[in-house]
Structure 1
Amino acid sequence: YVLTKIHIFSDKLDLSCILPVHLLTSKEKAADMKSRTSKALKDVKSNNVAHLQLEFLSCCRHFRTYGSTFFIAEVYMSQPHTSHLRAHCGVNDYGLHLISCSSMVLIASYDHRELKWSYDNGKPFLEVYARAHRHQMTLRTPQAAYIYMLLNKLSGQGAEKGSLNEPR
């Protein structure tokens, strides 16, 4: 659907506006992607827009990140190794997702059941520990309180008194 809006058959098509940069690392790869995209468009051109939108959404529903609310955060990893990156931090009914801001590549998805998190009221930090991966990280964002509330609500834990994830 999006491709019909940008006129895929133009010789000057810039695939970087519709595809992640890591898929277009060489001229050969870009030419291959352009021909595959053109062929796919010809195959679906006979379908109406509503059908294409429905098909697109049905594909999207299979992604773990579907339905996530995203926030931009600085992620500071302390385990298994020390690192720092700027990421889109997404929260949905599955869990927590981190997507690199620079490459738009999914870095990690964590199920609610494997996470422990804590938040200090009034501070822009959320401490997160993923038990299965043994990842210890700090998310720094002005929306830390919102991420905390979403994690509690969507994991079904709520903010009951005595909860492991209760704000300090």
Structure 2
Amino acid sequence: MTDRLTPPAPAPGDPPGDGHSARRTLAAAFGRRHPDTVHIGPSGVNRLRAVLWGDVDMDNARTLGRAMAAALDDSSEGLDVDLAAVDFCGSSGLHVLLALRERAAATGKSLVLTAVSPAVARLLEVTETDALFARRPLPDDGDDSAEELPA
């Protein structure tokens, strides 16, 4: 039995750290019309960044988890996760975050929450899991394009 967050193997020739496996995971699950719930892109030189918005629930948590696991695997140092625009995060979403944290630790990488919405902050507080996650805001590099959600 495979891990629920096991991403597909990288395609031959895909360079590490580019987020291509994460995007392929989303495309495979949703086709070209995947819902606008996550954007994976670079976050510095050796890290990738996942920006999530909308609802993270049992309907999409597994696919989002696989995409973020692929991004974590693609990165050299780890994954920065921005949850500032998440309106709802259920227990399925929390399970994904905890599994990603464990996966990062097992591979010598880090999972960092760069921003959380009030809904996510409340979930982490109520479940007493807030202290388990590294929290660090991304430095402001003057480039607002990283903050814009894809259209």
The two structures share one fold, judged by TM-score above 0.5:
no
User: Which structure dedicates a bigger proportion of its chain to helix?
Assistant: 2
- Bigger relative contact order, structure 1 or 2 (CA pairs below 8 A, ≥6 apart): 2
Give the alignment's TM-score, normalised by structure 1: 0.27
User: Which structure dedicates a bigger proportion of its chain to strand?
Assistant: 1
Give the alignment's TM-score, normalised by structure 2: 0.29
